[in-house]
Amino acid sequence: MAPRRDGVEWPLAGPLGLAYTAFFAAPLLLLFAISFYDDSDLTRITGSQWVKFFSDPFYLSVIGRTLQLGAVTVLATTVLSFPLALVFCASRPSVQKLLLLIIIMPLLTSVVVRTFAWIVILAREGVINQAILTLGLSATPLPLLQTEFGLVLALTQIEMPLMLLPLITVMRAIDPNVVDASRALGASRWRTFFQVILPLSLPGWVAGATLVFASSVTAFISQSVIGGGRLVFLPSVIWQQSMVVYNWPFAAVAAVTLLVTVLTGICLLAALSVRLAGR
């Protein structure tokens, strides 16, 4: 089968394009269309649900809280991933195999199991509070469940492989001679990291940050179970409006807003990646 002049084999790309249109693009367009219906009269098309959503300070704060959750989770995984990636790259091949198994093991476990395991850890009688009480750091158990700190802590562990794997892949491709040359020229370990390793590993960080951000802001199970009813994010608004209130147009507005929020973060990270590549 000869390819066309533009280099695209359309007979092979056609079925994939049709499947993409049928199972991804069409439902999104349908969701966007539903958001313009009126809840009291589904035969009438208005923009009242959009006005209701974006004129309410509560839902605007929910959007900001959702973005903040994704940004803080990316920051936490970044701070922990770089030292772990350096340790991985400096280890022997046999140790790297063991570390790789430990890294990908959370991906092999159901997110529900991991989330409920964090309930055991963060509960008032959990591992962390028992350790704090035993060491005498506090006289009473700390409130960790249904707090943003506990949610970020759990999401950091859950999303860590999504940051580590791209970062390790890029850092392993860095030429060791470049690092050795920096040390030979008198640079310290910190200066070598910030001026050599960090700039060369930024493409891997951008890929990992994109995955972590998109996954953390849409982590409905973790947000609902660990955050509880005290912390409200866009996924919980979508579930409440669609499954409890049965206000499908308003739920569609929240869903489209969540989609745009995630795409905005991904586009910003992609623009950063392009800018870094153009240096």
Cβ count near 262 (within 10 Å) = 20
Residue 161 has pLDDT above 70, yes or no: yes
Residue 1 has pLDDT above 50, yes or no: no
Structure tokens at 182: 């920096």
pLDDT at 116: 83
Could you tell me the domains of the chain?
A: 54-277 (1.10.3720.10)
Helices 57-90 + 93-104 axis angle, to 10: 160
Dihedral of CA atoms 120, 162, 202, 277 in degrees, nearest 10, equals -150
Cβ count near 89 (within 10 Å) = 17
254 confidence band (pLDDT: 50, 70, 90): very high
**Tens digits of per-residue pLDDT, 217-253?**
998 888 888 887 788 899 999 999 988 888 889 999 9
**Tens digits of per-residue pLDDT, 192-225?**
888 888 888 888 899 999 999 999 999 888 888 8
**Tens digits of per-residue pLDDT, 42-84?**
667 788 889 889 999 999 999 999 999 999 999 999 999 999 9
134 confidence band (pLDDT: 50, 70, 90): confident
Mean pLDDT of the chain: 85
Cβ count near 67 (within 10 Å) = 18
Q: Where are the alpha helices (DSSP H) in the chain?
A: 10-20, 26-34, 48-54, 57-90, 93-104, 111-122, 127-135, 148-172, 176-184, 189-192, 198-217, 220-225, 234-239, 248-277
